[in-house]
Amino acid sequence: MSAAIGTSSAVPHDGREIGLGLRLAHAENALRALATGQVDAIITPDGRAHLLPRAPEQAQQGERRLQAIIESAVDIIMVVGRSGGVLFQNRATTQLLGYETGSLLAQNLFQLVHPEDLPVFYSAFFNVIEEFRKAVTLQFRLRHRNSLYHTLEATIGKLCDGPDAQVVVTCRDVRRGESAREETAQKLLVLAEAAQTKDRFLAMLSHELRTPLTPALFGVQELQEDDRFIEARPILAMIQRNLQLQAQLLGDLIDFTVVGQHKVRLHPESIDAHEAVRFVLEICGREIAEARMEVALHLRAADSMVLASSARLQQVMWNLIKNAVKFSPAGGSISIVSANNAAGDLILEFIDRGVGIAPELLPLVFDAFQQGDVQARPFYGSFGLGLFIAKGLVEAQGGTLAAFSEGRGKGATFRLTLTKASSNDFAVPIQ
C-alpha cells in the first residue's frame, strides 16, 4: 500500500497568503502522490481541473487482475469471432479439453462441435451474434484433443457488435455427472438382462429336475402298497417324504420364477375363505401335530366370500400357516382371525407368538431368498421363497399381504386382505 502523503506543517489560518516554503512542501507532496499513482486530477493556475488518464500502472494492474480471474476460472472461457474462429482461450480449456494454451487460436470452433449438435449450436451462436438474443445456454458435445467428445453446458453471450462481432463462450464440463449416470444405466441394463437370464435358467432347471420325480413318487407309492415289501416300508416312507420335499422345493422355485416375472395368470372365482382356512389346516394337520402346536380359529367375519383362485389361495394360506409353525417354539399356539373391513373385504390374520421379526428385517420379509436372522439359517427344506411367492400370488388375486411384528421374540402377524366376492359371482366349493 502506498503511503498517504501528509504535510505536518501548519497553514496560517487567517489568510490566503501561504508562505513559499509551505507551497513548495505542498508541491513536493503532490509530486510524490503523482509518482505513486494516487492523483487523478490536477488544478492548473488558470483555474482548470484536468482529469488524468488512469495511471498506466494501475490500468496494467487491473488488466492483470482480470486476466488472473479468467485464467483461474474452472469453466472454459473462449472468445469466438463471427465466423467461428477462436480468438481467446483460457487455461480451463487446456484442462478440460486438452488443447494447449493458444493451440485453439488457429482453429474454427464449429469444427470441434459434434456434427449432431452443430445445428443447435450454430443457431444459438447466430442468435447471439445477430442480437436476436442476449445470451443462450445450451448443451453440446465438443471434441477433446484426444478425439473423444465431452458434453458441455455452455452459455454464449455477446462481447462486441459490428462486422467483427465477437461472443464469449463459457462452458462447464458436465461429462462427469453425465457419464456416471450413463454408466449406471448401462450397468442396470446388464444386471436386468443377467437377472432375466438367471430366471429363465432357473425356471427351466426346476421343470427339468421335477419331471423325473413324478414317476419316482408313483413307484414308491406302489411299492408301499405292495405286501412283499412290508419290512422296507419305513425306508420307502423316508424315500417318499424326501421325494415330496424335493418336489415341493422345485415347485417353489418354479413359482418364484413365475411370480418374479409377474407372469401369474389366475382365474379368480367366488370362494369361501373360511372354508379354505379349515381345509388347509387339515392338510397341515400332521405338521401342526408334530410341532405340538395349537391353532385357535376366530373366524368372525360375517361375509367370508372372496374373489380368489382356490388352489392359489390355499397355497398362500398353507405357506402362512407353515411359516407360523416353523418360527414358533414347539408347543406354542397360532391364532387365525378373520373380520370384514369397512369395504366388506375379508381380512385374515395369521398370528404367531414365535421368534418375531426385528424392525430392520421387517421390510425384507417378502424378499426372495430371505430367511429371518442370519444366525437362524439354514432352515431345512426351504429356500426362503414362501413369503415372496405368497405375496406375489395374493397380489395377482387383487389382495394384499402385510407383515407386522413388535420385534424379535414378540411373534408376528401376517395380514391377508382379500377382495370380497360380488353377490352375483357363483360360489365354488373348496376341494
Binding interface with other proteins (CB under 8 A): 1-11, 13, 16, 18, 23, 26-27, 29-30, 32-34, 36-43, 45, 47-49, 51-52, 54, 58
- Give the shortest CB-147-to-other proteins separation in angstroms: 48
CB of 36 or CB of 400, closer to other proteins: 36
- Give the shortest CB-27-to-other proteins separation in angstroms: 6
- Gyration radius of the chain's alpha carbons: 43
- Give the shortest CB-167-to-other proteins separation in angstroms: 30
Find the helix or strand (DSSP H, E) in which 398 lies. Answer: none
For 122, the 3-state DSSP assignment is: helix
Asked, as a colleague might, if the bond just before 215 is cis with ω within 30 of 0, I would say no
- Give the shortest CB-3-to-other proteins separation in angstroms: 5
- Give the shortest CB-60-to-other proteins separation in angstroms: 14
Task: Give the residue from 341, 265, 352 showing the smallest Cα distance to 304.
Answer: 341
CB of 3 or CB of 230, closer to other proteins: 3
- Give the shortest CB-73-to-other proteins separation in angstroms: 25
CB of 2 or CB of 422, closer to other proteins: 2
Q: Any idea which residue has 373360511 for its cell? A: 274
CB of 26 or CB of 133, closer to other proteins: 26
Could you please report the per-residue DSSP string of 139-187? EEEEE-TTS-EEEEEEEEEEEE-STT-EEEEEEEE-HHHHHHHHHHHHH
- Written as one letter, the residue type at 406 is E
Q: CA 245 from chain center: how many Å?
A: 39
Report long-range pairs for 35-39 (Cβ below 8 Å, ≥24 apart). Answer: 36/2, 36/3, 37/2, 38/2, 38/4, 38/5
Q: Report residue 374 as a C-alpha cell.
A: 442370519
- Give the shortest CB-44-to-other proteins separation in angstroms: 8
CB of 49 or CB of 343, closer to other proteins: 49
Q: Are 167 and 83 in contact (CB under 8 A)?
A: no
**Cα torsion through 422, 427, 429, 430, rounded to 10:** -20
For 404, the 3-state DSSP assignment is: strand
Alpha helices in 226-284 (DSSP H): 233-260, 273-283
- The neighbouring-strand residues paired with 270 are 307, 427
Q: CA 162 from chain center: how many Å?
A: 50
- 128: number of Cβ within 10 Å: 23
CB of 37 or CB of 157, closer to other proteins: 37
Is 339 buried (19+), middle (13-18) or exposed (0-12) by CB count in 10 A?
A: middle
- Give the shortest CB-96-to-other proteins separation in angstroms: 35
Find the helix or strand (DSSP H, E) in which 69 lies. Answer: helix 56-72
- Give the shortest CB-141-to-other proteins separation in angstroms: 44
- Give the shortest CB-24-to-other proteins separation in angstroms: 11
CB of 50 or CB of 228, closer to other proteins: 50
Task: Give the residue from 310, 227, 327, 211 showing the smallest Cα distance to 267.
Answer: 310
CB of 13 or CB of 265, closer to other proteins: 13
- Give the shortest CB-61-to-other proteins separation in angstroms: 11
CB of 28 or CB of 116, closer to other proteins: 28
